[in-house]
Every structure is written in C-alpha cells, then in structure tokens.
A and B are shown apart, each in its own frame.
Chain A
Amino acid sequence: MATADAAHHDEHHAHPTGILRWITTTNHKDIGTLYLLFSLTMFMVGGLMALVIRAELFQPGLQVVDPHFFNQMTTMHALVMIFGAVMPGFVGFANWMLPMMIGAPDMALPRLNNWSFWILPFAFTMLLSSLLTAGGGPASGWTLYAPLSIQGGMSVDMTIFAIHMMGVSSILGAINVIVTIFNMRAPGMTLLKMPLFVWTWLITAFLLIAVMPVLAGVVTMLLTDRHFDTAFFNPAGGGDPVMFQHIFWFFGHPEVYILILPAFGIISEIIPTFSRKPLFGYTTMVLATAGIAFLSFIVWAHHMFTVGMPLAGELFFMYSTMLIAVPTGVKVFNWVSTMWRGSLTFETPMLFAIAVVFLFTIGGFSGLMLAITPADFQYHDTYFVVAHFHYVLFSGSIMAMMGGAYYWLPKWTGHMYDEKLGKTHFWLNTIFFNITFFPQHFLGLAGMPRRIPDYALQFTEFNVISSIGAFGLGLSQLLFVYVVIKCVRGGEKASDEVWEQPRGLEWTVPSPAPYHTFETPPRVA
C-alpha cells in the first residue's frame, strides 16, 4: 500500500512495473504489503465462513446449511484464519518493521522472502478449491483428527498438501526472520536494545522452525495411512489414533504462541508511545517471552485431557500449563505498569492495545480454568473453549494487528488515517466482539457442544445474541477496510515521527518510509 510510488529511489536497477513488480519483488516493504493484503483478504474469507456458522446457529434446528457443510465451515474457518489471516498478517508486520527497527537495508535473504510469500496464494488455492470437489471440503475440524480425517475424501489430501505448502512458506519465512535479526542489526544495536517486537518475532521464528516440520510429519503420516497402507493411527495394525493428537498438539501448542507472541510485541511498542514512558521491565518482558516459548513445548496434552491418559500425564500437563500464567502475568503487569502514571492519550492504536491487555487477560483466565484437568472434563469441546480461544486469538492476535496497522499506517503510507473513523471502528469492533463471544462462555458452561449445527432449546437466547454480534462484528470490519483504503489514497500528511517522541529507528526515517531504508547502517547509541 505504502510504496505505490517507488519512483524516488533506486538508481541501480530497473524494476518491472505493474503486476510483475509484485510477483518478482525482492523488497521487504513490497513483500510486507503483499502479506498484509493477503492476510486481510483471508480475514474476510474466513469471516464469511464464520457468518455461515453463526447464521445456522441463530436458531435451533437446521435452517441454512446442511450439517456436513456446517462441518466444512468450522474446519475451513479455522484453517483460513490461522494459516491465512493471523500468521501471514504477522509476517507482513515482520517484513515491514524488522529491517527498519534494527537498521537493516532489507531482509537477509530477499529472494527467499519473495518465495515465502508467493507459496501462500497457491497453498490457499489448493485449500479453498477443495470446497468444490465431490464430497465437499475437509470436515474433520482443523485439527484433522484421525480416524475421521482418514475416512474423508480427496479434499483431505488437498488440505494435507496445502498444509505442506504453508509449512514450507512458514519455515523459509522464519529462517529469514532469524537470520535478519542475528546478522543484519546496525552497529550498536545489541540484542538487549532491540525493540520488543523484534524479540517476540525472534522467538516466534524459532518456534516456527521447531514445530512446522512436526506438523508436516504428522500430516504425512495421515497421507500414508490414507493411501499407502501404513497403520500409524490404526490399532488393528498396532497404531493409535491418540498418537495423532499427541504429535499434532506438539505442533499445535507452540503454534498458539506463534499466533500470539508477535501480538505481544506490537502492543509492547504501542503502549509506551501513548504512555510517553519507556516499556516497564524490558528485560523481564524478553525473559517472559522466552519462558512462554519454552513452556509451550511441554504443555501440549492439555488439549486432550479427556482422551484417556495416565494420571501422571494428566497431572504433569495440568501443572505445566498453569505455569504459563507466570510469564504471561509478568507481561500483563508490565503493560499495566508502563501505563501507570504515564501521560496517557487514547488514539486508536492505544485503544486497541488497552483492549487487548484487558480482553486477552479474560482469555488467559478462561485458559487457566481449562487447564484444571477435572474441570476440563466438563468444559472440553464446549462453547466455553470456543469463547476462550476467540478471546485470545481475536481480541489478542487480530486486535493487536489492527492496533499495529493504525500505529504504523502513517509510516507506511505517509498519511494519517481518519482518527474519528478509526475510533468508531474500534468501538464497533470491540463491542460487537464481546456481544459475539461473551455469551459463549455461558453456553459452554451450560454444556453446549462445539462444532454441532443444532442445539437444545435452552441455548437459544445466548445463541441469538452471539449471532447478532457476529454479523455486527463482520460488518464493522468493512469500516476497517474503508479506513485503510482512505489512508492509502490520501489524508493529512504524517510527520516523520508521527506520534509524540516514539522510540525506535522506524520513526527516524521519512513518512512514507523510502523504498530502501538504511542502505548505510545507522549507528545506535
């Protein structure tokens, strides 16, 4: 969006223009823009799928879609949002901001960077077109549990191969991020001077490289069980369907931190700026991030407490999961302490950041409830779980990205966004979000199961409220798209600093940031 005029730069080589520029680009800003646009598109696609789900759940009984299609929607909504909206969105932020934040001329491996992005549209073509095959798309839930996924049609194969492609994209992207951070910092930019967004991405990239191959491995086993006669998940051959869950969640739990750590990074940039104070407890923030990453590898089986595990396993995974509350609590207290006695103003990015701190903490607490094994026997696979992960993923990851978009849009485009519309979007988004998801806590505690298109009559009222909220939430995102487009096309000229004395190298370059920044590395005091 920002670099639409690449004219004022670059004498060393001619660049292709038009669509070819975007296909062949090796510029981190171009690639960041591609990632962000892709993420926004997938956010809308996944959102439409969510609205199909909420339309069906508006009333008890089956009205809108048949149950099989409903299952395809729950499966696809999750896959599209996780792999299409949230992960690429954060990579877009990483591409735009990391080189600027550490004073590098670009990402370390620019051509590989292009490939990381350009695998994604192909992967999602494969995934989304599976909806058109005979028998429809994958309907086993995004977790693809065996044996259900083994019994599915060719759409499951398409999903497996799409996941392989997304995995290649993520691993290559993560390698690029790590190498950029380790090898491309400006002189004087020591590790403990890096902005927290850089730190959170460093750790996220490590998690990605560690677990995406495990996901690739487990879906490969699924493929061979489906077509090559192996028996990994078939007890008749000595295998075990529960093993799928173990390997999947060994990937899956670090994955949820992959989805949230960069969000922590973004709000750790926003809150100090609008509190006009440095981030409170910077070193503990770094350590807490590393601690969360470490713990993420030893908590996976809390996703499967009800599957039948030895008592020792249940206890271990319960206690290790609860430990995560410690570093996460450190972070929440640090954000609050940063605001404490700060000179606060409430521009749109700050509103989003504060809402993230507040709402993510609700999601954290419901997560703590779910971590209690005996309680989880009641909550497992209910709408309580759905409410929990939307509080951490929507009002954590996605709202942090929205806040980050408002925060850096002036730097990307050179124009201020429309503050009034931004605030309107914030309030509509946040209110409708809570209308959608807060009632789901009650539904879950009362026993309404997730991933079912119909429900008992006593759940009607809360479902009606939730569905109304969902449509409001969906519509309010159109305002977000409008604000972004309006900001790209014009608006009040942004200054280089944009905000009041924000910290970070990105604010030392002009707005919009020139096509190439820091060809000569800045010296960091």
Chain B
Amino acid sequence: MSGAQGSYYLPNPSAWPIIGSIGLFTLLLGFMLFLNEGTAGTWLMIFGACVIAFMLIGWFGTVISESEGGLYNDQVGMSFRMSMLWFIFSEIMFFAAFFGALFYTRTLAVPWLADTDLLWPNYEGGWPTAGPKGPVPIDADTAVANPATQFSTIGPWGIPVLNTLLLLSSSITVTIAHHALKQNARGKLILWLGLTVALGVVFLYFQAIEYHHAYTELGLTLGTGVYGGTFFMLTGFHGLHVTIGAIMLMVVWLRCLRGHFKPDNHFAFEASAWYWHFVDTVWVGLFVFVYVF
C-alpha cells in the first residue's frame, strides 16, 4: 500500500480552491440575478465563468507540471484513477434523476392523468405528449403549421442514428489511440485521438442543427410540456457533457503533441477516455429511450 517509489506527494498550500469558490459563487449569483432581471447578472456570470476557467487552467496546469516533474508515485496515480471513477459514478446518478423523471411521467403520471376525469376529462394521454393544455403531437419529423396547437418530434432514423454511429465510432477511435499510446506509437496516437475529438465536434454540430430544426420547424421546445422538458434536458445535459469530454480530449491531444504521457503512465488520457465512454453510454440510453421508444 505504501508508496512504490518515494512517499505520497502532499501538495503545498494552494490558492486555486478559493479562486474556484469565488468563481462558482459569482457565476451562480450572476445567473440568479439574470433570472430575476437583475441588471448586473450577465456581467457577473461572464466574470464568474472567466474566474472558473482561470482556476481550471491554473489548477490543472499545476497538476500537469507536478506530474511531468515526476512528483507523483503510483499510489498518487491510483488516487486519481479511483476519484475519476467515483466522479463518473456521480455523473451517472445525475443522469439517473432525469431518466427517472422520463420513466415516471411516461409510465405513471401521464396515464394517471388520462385516467382521471376530474381535471381534463378529454385528455387522452399517450406519448409523446405535451399534457392536456399543451400542443398536440403529430407525426415525427413533420413541419408544424402552428406551434401553439401542434408539435412534432425528431424521429430516430435521421440524424440521431447517425449521431449514434458517430459517438460509437469515437469510442473505438479513442481505444485505438489508447493502444497506440501503450505501444508508444506517437503518430498513430495523435491521429486517432484527433479523429476522436473531430467525431465529437461533428456530433455537437449535428445536435445543434437538430435543435434548430426542432425549435424553428417542429414546434418542439423546452416548453412543449413534459415531452419537450425531458427531451431537451436529457439531450441538453448530454450535449454539455460531450462538450466537456471533447475539451478534455482536446487538452490531452495538445499534451500528446508536446510529448506528454508515457506508455505505462498516462492518467489524464485514461480519465478522459473513461469520461468519453461514459458520455457515449449515456447517449445509447438516450437513443433507445428518448428517440426510438
């Protein structure tokens, strides 16, 4: 259990955490004011986001230089790996809350609402639905004449299935890159990792096109009852996580260009790859439960 090479690295006092707290507080305070029509809201949000970005760059920069400087032994590496896995577990539980909301409304709340005659006797229920007071669903992928009375959904076999293929292949490319790193084939590593990032970016681009399509032509928005809410919150938070994952992989890619990482020791690569597989897996769940069924 004790350090394999030298003792466990205990960092010096650090100012990054308090900077992160200030950034987080400012960001959320700004967001709160923005939502409540406070005047300084937007600027506080931008300032807070910049402080957080500064903190992330500084803090991770410190960790990277400590790591490249050989200060970490195997036990420190194990701490990092374990914490990344538990962090991903917490992310899974975050998505579980939204999947839970989707399953609960679809299988329990909406049928109960349709069964009772007390509130809206003519409400039929079914899925998709925007509720008894919302617009009525029509066939998927059909342009809607009046979004106030009708909405359409995004069918699974257009962009969504393409996006599924994109993300699944990106999981394969990142694995190829990982094997290349282990064999110290740096050129191959940089090529396949770069391809992974590119696939992620294309995914995000398609997702943006799809959102635009939904808002402008299908009458499908966040406000389209419980269908719109679960659809956009699930896919939106997923898209946010793809963005974070792509940024992580991009940073790792830049570090590869600089010659960082060794075949037997490359925590940041592993962590980003795990995160990417997690994002990928969530998408498969989304594709099945949000788009197909």
Contact = CB atoms under 8 A, between A and B. Distances in A.
Nearest to B55: A115
A175 interface: yes
Contact of A179 (B36, B83, B110, B226): B83
Interface string B229-254: 11011000000000000000000000
20 contacts: A16-B13, A21-B13, A26-B13, A118-B21, A154-B35, A158-B32, A183-B79, A184-B8, A186-B1, A210-B90, A213-B93, A213-B96, A217-B94, A230-B222, A236-B132, A237-B130, A238-B130, A240-B112, A250-B97, A250-B100
A509 interface: no
B21 A157 contact: no
Interface in B155-171: none
Interface residues of A, number: 81
B131 A234 contact: yes
A229 B222 contact: yes
A221 B104 CA distance: 14
Interface stretch (B23-31, B201-209, B263-271, B274-282): B23-31
Contact of A239 (B2, B105, B119): B105
Contact of A209 (B35, B90, B133, B233): B90
B59 interface: yes
B24 A175 contact: no
Interface string A357-400: 00000000000000000000000000000000000000000000
Contacts of A24: 13-15, 17-18
A168 B227 CA distance: 29
B50 interface: no
Contacts of A178: 82, 86
Contacts of A227: 35
Given A239-B226, A519-B7, A246 B104 contact: yes
Contact of B36 (A105, A154, A171): A154
Given A119-B21, A231-B130, A247-B101, 19 more contacts: A13-B12, A26-B14, A104-B8, A111-B16, A114-B17, A115-B16, A115-B20, A154-B32, A179-B86, A184-B79, A221-B97, A221-B98, A229-B222, A231-B134, A231-B228, A235-B113, A238-B105, A239-B105, A246-B104
Contact of B98 (A15, A104, A217): A217
Given A108-B83, A217-B97, A521-B1, A238 B7 contact: no
B96 to A, nearest CB: 7
Given A235-B131, A238-B110, A238-B130, A521 B2 contact: yes
A236 B133 contact: yes
Contacts of A405: none
Contact of B1 (A118, A187, A234, A238): A187
Interface in B66-103: 75, 78-79, 82-83, 86-87, 89-91, 93-98, 100-101
Given A24-B13, A26-B14, A176-B83, A231 B101 contact: no
B113 A240 contact: yes
B134 A238 contact: yes
A324 interface: no
Nearest to B14: A111
Nearest to B128: A238
A13 B13 CA distance: 9
B78 A122 contact: no
Interface of B: 1-2, 7-8, 10-18, 20-22, 24-25, 28-29, 31-32, 35-36, 59, 75, 78-79, 82-83, 86-87, 89-91, 93-98, 100-101, 104-105, 108-110, 112-113, 119, 129-134, 221-223, 225-230, 232-233
The 4 A-B pairs with the shortest beta carbon distances in the complex, nearest first, are A217-B97, A238-B131, A229-B223, A230-B229
Which of B13, B28, B130 counts the most chain A CB atoms within 10 A? B13
Nearest to A114: B17
Contacts of A223: 35
A125 B29 CA distance: 11
A420 B236 CA distance: 60
A343 interface: no
Nearest to B104: A243
Contacts of A237: 130-131, 133-134, 223, 225-226, 229
A114 B83 contact: no
Interface string A211-243: 111101110110110111111101111111011
A218 B95 CA distance: 11
A102 to B, nearest CB: 10
Contact of A126 (B25, B112, B119): B25
A239 B223 CA distance: 12
B101 A179 contact: no
Contacts of A174: 86
Contacts of B232: 230
Contacts of A231: 130-131, 134, 223, 225-226, 228-229
Nearest to B22: A122
Contacts of A187: 1-2
Contacts of A25: 13
A51 interface: no
Interface string A110-143: 1110110011011001100000000000000000
A114 B109 contact: no
A255 interface: no
A165 interface: yes
A234 B100 CA distance: 16
A521 B97 CA distance: 41
A404 to B, nearest CB: 26
Nearest to A121: B21
Given A210-B89, A210-B93, A238-B109, A115 B29 contact: no
A105 B8 contact: yes
Given A126-B25, A238-B226, A209 B105 contact: no
Contacts of B228: 230-231
A23 interface: yes
Contacts of B20: 115, 119
A70 B75 CA distance: 52
Contacts of B13: 15-16, 20-21, 24-26
Contacts of B7: 105, 519-520
Contacts of A229: 221-223
A23 B14 CA distance: 8
Interface in A143-192: 154, 157-158, 161, 164-165, 168, 171, 174-176, 178-179, 182-187, 189
Given A111-B16, A126-B28, A238-B131, A230 B223 contact: yes
A218 B18 CA distance: 27
A109 interface: yes
A171 B96 CA distance: 16
Contact of B233 (A164, A186, A221, A250): A221
B65 to A, nearest CB: 14
Nearest to A216: B94
Nearest to B113: A235
Interface string A505-525: 000000000001001110000
B109 A242 contact: yes
A106 interface: yes
Contacts of B16: 111, 115
